[in-house]
Copies of this chain bind each other. A is one copy, B any other.
Amino acid sequence: MYAEFETYLREHMQLSDDELRLIHSFAVERKVRRKQVLLQEGEICRFKIFVCKGILRTYRTREDGTEHIVQFSSENLWVTEPESLHNHTPSRYYIDAVEDSELIFWTKSDFDTLFAQIPRLKYFTERLISRNVTLGRDRIFSAISSTPEEKYDEFIQTYPTVFARVPLHMIASYLGLSLKTLSRVRHAQLKR
């Protein structure tokens, strides 16, 4: 499982063998089953995760119990709950597995050590954050400006791999639509 991650690292950064070893030394590999919960609401998030295989989702619930997905994370993506991780505050989000998944964990303090010793890793992470900020804005723009049909199309284009692997009601939850509306959109598209 760690092989995928090392490939990813080599593709995105130039690191010395020592640096690669250091990163590996703090990593904890773990396989999880579908539906397994990795972070509960109210818990303090203590880890950063890299997804080697599978899909995770980050979601939040309303008082009425409905779940609303703010993020899917598939292969080669990082997952954490930054607010809880950085401030040591209870998380308002859940994280769980949509599929059986293969993950790599680091604790916050270990990752901070890595940042201190490997400037390139720090720099790379900053770029990832910056890109995430951009994606977040795009999502907000889409949420406030697009029709359900447009949201659905954008989702398929942006996350083609995720699309085929998660149930429709989760896509509806992610897009902020009812399952009914989503199925209407899909039905209408069949005719074209």
**Residue ranges of A at the interface with B (Cβ–Cβ < 8 Å):** 60, 62, 66, 68, 70, 82-83, 86, 127, 129-130, 132-134, 136-137, 139-141, 143-145, 173-176
- Chain B positions within 8 Å of A127 at CB level: 86
Q: Bound complex: CA of A110 vs CA of B134, how far in Å?
A: 23
The docked-state distance in angstroms from the alpha carbon of A66 to that of B141 is 12
**18 chain-A/chain-B pairs, Cβ below 8 angstroms:** A62-B145, A66-B145, A68-B145, A70-B137, A70-B140, A70-B144, A82-B134, A83-B130, A83-B134, A86-B127, A86-B130, A129-B133, A133-B133, A136-B136, A143-B143, A143-B144, A144-B175, A145-B176
Q: Closest B residue to A86 by CB, please name it.
A: B130
Contact between A144 and B66, CB atoms less than 8 A apart: no
**CB-defined contacts of A68 to chain B, threshold 8 Å:** 141, 144-145
